Structure formats: C-alpha cells, structure tokens
Amino acid sequence: MSSSAQVTAAIIIGIGTLLYLLYRFLLPKPIPGIPYDEASIHRLLGDVPDLVAWQNVHQEPWGCMVKKFKDLDSPIIQIFGRVGGNPWVVIADAREANDIMTRRSADFDRSRFFGELVNAIMPRFHTKLMTNDEWRAHRALLKDTMSPAFLNSTSGPGLHEAFSQVMELWRAKMALANDHPIDVEQDIMYANLDALWAAAFGKTAGAVETQFKNVAEISPGPDGVFRTPNAEIPFEAKAVPILAESMAITAKSPLGGLHHKFAILFYPSLRAAMKAKETLLRRQINDAAQRIRSSDGAVQSATDFIISSEMRAAEKEGRPADIHSPVIYDELYGYLMAGHDTGATISDWGVNFLMRNPKVQDTLRSSIQTAFPNYPPDEAPTAKAIATTSLPYLDAFIEEALRLGQVAGVHVRETIRDTQILGHMVPAGTNVFMFLIGQSIQLPPIDVPYTLRSKTSQDSYSQFPDLNPQDIMEFKPERWLNDDGTYNPNAGPSLSFGTGLRGCFGKKLGLLELRMFFFLLVWNFEVLSPIGEQGPLSRKQRLGLKPRTTYVRFRDLRK
C-alpha cells in the first residue's frame, strides 16, 4: 500500500473512530436505579420516536407516557427527550407531586425547561425565573390584581360581558342551525380572549362581537356539524394566540428554545405578532397613564393598576416613572396570554363533560337556580353576584373538570441539589415532570410503599385522601363536596394550577373566569350532545391538551 493510501486509510479510520465515540457519547445515559424503556438507551433520540409515533396516531404524546408507566409498572420512570441531554425523571403520583411543589423548596425550583417555553416572547415574565428576589419583585407588580376586591369589582364585569356576548352569538347560530350541532371551539377561544383582554385593559378586544358578521353564512360540513367562517379579528388580538401557540416549537424541537428564538426573529407571522405585541402594550400603557393623570385615579383594569402603582412609587422615590419598562411589558402580556388559553381549554372540556353527563348538568343548573330564584327570563345575575354567592356544586364541577381535563398534562420542577424521589437518588440539575393525566389522578394509581415516600410526604399524608380507584375515571363533582354539601378543595389532589410557592399566579382569576363562563352557560342553555352515538372523549395537543372536538346543540332556557 502506498504511503498516500495509508494516510487516507488512517484518516478514514480516525474519522470513523471519532464518529463512533461521538455516537457513544451522545447515547442516553440513564440515572441508576430509575426504570426506563430498554430500547430507548440504544437510540440517539431516546424516547422521542415513541412519543412522535403516538402523536401521529392519537394527536397527543401523553398517552405514550401513560403506557410506559404501565409497562414498567412503576410510578417513577426516566425519559430521554433531548439528544445528548440529561434524562428527564417523570412521576405519576399525585401525593408525591403535591409534596414536591408544596414542601420541598430546598430540593426543587422552577424548571429552566419551562423558562425556555416563554423566553423568546417574554424573557422577563416571572414564571420563567428561578425563585429569588428578582422573581419576588416581578410577581409583586400584579399581586393585588388577584385580591378578591379587585377581581370582583374590576375583573369580574369584563368577564361577565365577554361571556354574555358569546351566549348571544350562540343564540344567533342556534336559530339558523335547526337543532344541528355547531362547532363552538373557536367561539370559546374568542370569548376567553375577550374576557382576559377586558381584565387586562378594561374593555374586550371585540373578538366575539366581530363573529356576528358571518353568522348568516353558517352551513353544515360533511359531518353534519354547522360551522361559521371566522370573521377577521384585530391583528393585535390575533397575535396573542399566534404567539402562545408558537411556544410549542420549543417543546417539539430537538433544538428547544434556540429554534423558538430563530422562529421569532425570522418567521414573518411571528415577527408581525411580536411587533403587534409591542404596539398594543405601548398604546394601552399610554392610555392608562393618561386616564390616571386626568381623572380621580380610579382603576379599571390590571394595566391601570400596575401603571398607577409605578407612578405612585416613582413619586415617592423622587424619580421618573418607568411605565414602559420591559418588565411591565412582559408581566402584562403574560397575564393576558396565560389566562386566555388555559381558560378556553378548560371551557372546552367542561362543555364536553356537561354534554356527556346530563344528570350532573341538571344538578348544576338546579343549584344555581336555587341560589338565584325569581329572575326574569331575559336577565342574568350580575358579575359581582356570581362571584360572591356561595355555589358549592359549581365549584365542585369546575374542580372535576380541571381534574379530568388537565390543560398542561404535567408540572415541571428542577432539582437544585441531589435528592431522593420515591426511594431513588436524583442528581441536581434534573428536570422532574409530574404527570397530571395518568395514574393516581385520572387512572387507578400504581402502588407506592409508604416507606419510599419522603418524610414530608409521610408527615402530611392526611392532608387529602387518595381518589377512589373504583370511580376515578368517572366525572363525579360530588367527590369534592362534604356531607353537608359544602365545597371541599382538599377532598383529593388538586394540582391543575400547581401548588406551593410556585403555584400558578393567576389561579384566582382563572377560577373566576371558569365560574363566570359555566354559570352563564347553564343559566342560558341546556347543553345537548350531537345526535347519534358518541365515541370516546379523545384529546389533541395544541398549546394545551384540548378535547378533539367541541360540537354542541343548545336548547335556549331564557326565552
């Protein structure tokens, strides 16, 4: 062999060796002792092919995880979701999830994985920050907007107006559909967008009102469901769901947040949406500042509140008010974006649960009619009355819809030091996914020996009972009621909004949003299922986990 041939062969062998070593380096490295799918550690993509295959068939990936828990017969497993990355630890045990979020702040903090989801859109939004003084300062900006007084007097009327409008839209559509089912998913999204817009800025975006323009064009599709062409809404409003849905890029792409940042910079639709975001916030903040300077300072929205607070603080400290700070922009947009999508998704689930459980619907309607007797047919209780009246069955219905609907599918925390979960050592820097749609919350639990639980979990064992495995898959609001009929949020694991220090900041607003929507829905209509046999209630993955369809027939109760 010539010397040049020898050199070429050596180079080829060297490159091949380096590629093989790189391949071995990038293969998944499991955490010792925690169960995993054996096939996944022999693939560069780990569990990703399984999740993608499930997504392609079922329109969501989470059922694949439920299957892995079952196949491995363990409430704690590890998943390999990023090439060359650390494994993700996933648990399907509500009691341990509650303990991690509530009592183990020395071991866990907000996950940087979650921060990647919002970083390209709202890099200063408090939900992406680790728990520190910066996070506390950001969260304090809107803290009082979650007080009962603010919610009932300021946010509530806007929610009431938005949801009352969508009831009238459905009356108009129902009159033309002749008892055929109508597709209400987009209407629900617009109504929730209007509701949060009103809470944030003092009046709705006009998204629902715009849809009246096309009602006369309602027509049946091949499936017999009547649909209306969507009327174009203002782009500033349309930008909110565009940007919200773009966060799925981070979750799905092997490049994670880097791919999302690239998309925000170079995809025309996302660049336009980001520009609309900045224009909207600048105008709304300027309008709020002008109102506050020219009037008695009455607060009409969350924007008014945060700008008024900044102006008072600046005056007290002898400095110019920084009303256009990036922090204020991101906190306000986060308030708007997070609330509209979660509210719309749970509203979709709740409508489906009402259709499929007519006895529950009858009980719910009877309970609110008992609380509000003798109202004229064309009149509904006020926002304040709905917000402040004791309605335990409605609260129980919402809790059960949250349990079986589950917008996010998981909560995520990150270990900040080596720790143990269910008897297994988990190293610092590990993302821990706490599953919400599978075993122990929606399906019978996988047995966990008491001695494997953390000490804090053992000490708090009596905080709430385990759900009854015999009826855990049933929609049963009564499980959240005491014997005397009062609402008991501790009757089972209540984790939809998270819990503990890093639980959802907007939980109170979200619950008011749902209370207002479902009250007005069952007050105005009997919610009927499409004619014919119903199949199983399946999911689809969008930003959150939605029911695959929301086709409804209505019977008007307020004529």
The average pLDDT across 215-221 equals: 90
Per-residue pLDDT at 166:
97
Taking the C-alpha atoms of residue 161 and residue 524, their distance in angstroms, rounded to an integer, is 14
More confident residue, 8 or 385: 385
- Who contacts 288 (Cβ-Cβ below 8 Å, separation ≥6)? 301, 303, 304, 307, 308
- Who contacts 559 (Cβ-Cβ below 8 Å, separation ≥6)? 377
Tell me if 409 sits within 8 A of 489, measured CB to CB.
Answer: no
Q: Which domains does the chain have, with CATH numbers?
A: 143-408+496-556 (1.10.630.10)
Amino acid in the structure at residue 462: S
Please indicate, yes or no, whether the overall pTM of this predicted structure exceeds 0.85: yes
Tell me if 182 sits within 8 A of 173, measured CB to CB.
Answer: yes
Taking the C-alpha atoms of residue 126 and residue 135, their distance in angstroms, rounded to an integer, is 6
Q: Is 207 helix (H, G, I), strand (E, B) or coil?
A: helix
- Who contacts 516 (Cβ-Cβ below 8 Å, separation ≥6)? 156, 159, 160, 163, 195, 383, 386, 387
Residues 424-476 have pLDDT tens digits of: 999 999 999 999 988 999 999 999 999 999 999 999 888 888 899 999 999 99
CA-wise closest residue to 551 among 522, 529, 536: 529
Residues 400-414 have pLDDT tens digits of: 999 999 787 889 999
Q: What's the distance, CA 72 to chain centroid?
A: 28
Tell me if 264 sits within 8 A of 120, measured CB to CB.
Answer: yes
Averaged pLDDT of the chain: 91
In eight-state DSSP terms, residue 325 is -
- Who contacts 94 (Cβ-Cβ below 8 Å, separation ≥6)? 440, 441, 445, 467, 493, 495
As beta bridge partners, residue 415 has 108
User: Minimum mean pLDDT among 4-18, 39-53, 299-313: which range?
Assistant: 4-18
Residues 125-140 have pLDDT tens digits of: 998 899 999 999 888 8
Residues 83-123 have pLDDT tens digits of: 888 999 999 999 999 999 999 999 999 998 888 888 999 99
* Residue 297 pLDDT greater than 70, yes or no: no
* Residue 5 pLDDT greater than 80, yes or no: no
Tell me if 411 sits within 8 A of 434, measured CB to CB.
Answer: yes
Taking the C-alpha atoms of residue 318 and residue 177, their distance in angstroms, rounded to an integer, is 62
Tell me if 545 sits within 8 A of 513, measured CB to CB.
Answer: no
For residue 296, what pLDDT band results from cuts at 50, 70 and 90?
low
- Who contacts 427 (Cβ-Cβ below 8 Å, separation ≥6)? 31, 415, 418
Tell me if 368 sits within 8 A of 396, measured CB to CB.
Answer: no
Per-residue pLDDT at 69:
96
* Residue 253 pLDDT greater than 70, yes or no: yes
Per-residue pLDDT at 196:
95
Share of the chain above pLDDT 90, in %: 71
Report angle CA 453, 457, 462 to the nearest 5 degrees.
120
Residues 476-535 have pLDDT tens digits of: 999 999 999 999 999 998 899 999 999 988 999 999 999 999 999 999 999 998 766 576
User: 159 vs 340, 372, 535, 540, CA distance in Å?
Assistant: 11, 19, 33, 27
For residue 270, what pLDDT band results from cuts at 50, 70 and 90?
very high
Per-residue pLDDT at 532:
63
For residue 24, what pLDDT band results from cuts at 50, 70 and 90?
confident
Strands (E), 306-462: 410-415, 419-421, 424-426, 431-435
The average pLDDT across 317-338 equals: 92
Residues 365-396 have pLDDT tens digits of: 999 999 999 888 788 999 999 999 999 999 99
Tell me if 498 sits within 8 A of 407, measured CB to CB.
Answer: no
* Residue 1 pLDDT greater than 70, yes or no: no
Share of the chain above pLDDT 70, in %: 98
Tell me if 51 sits within 8 A of 36, measured CB to CB.
Answer: no
CA-wise closest residue to 108 among 411, 399, 379, 555: 411
Per-residue pLDDT at 537:
82
504 is in an annotated binding site: yes
Tell me if 510 sits within 8 A of 339, measured CB to CB.
Answer: yes
User: 357 vs 203, 265, 281, 476, 538, CA distance in Å?
Assistant: 35, 46, 42, 9, 16
The average pLDDT across 162-178 equals: 94
Per-residue pLDDT at 555:
94
Residues 35-68 have pLDDT tens digits of: 999 999 999 999 999 999 999 999 888 899 999 9
Tell me if 121 sits within 8 A of 242, measured CB to CB.
Answer: no
- Who contacts 152 (Cβ-Cβ below 8 Å, separation ≥6)? 383, 384, 387, 388
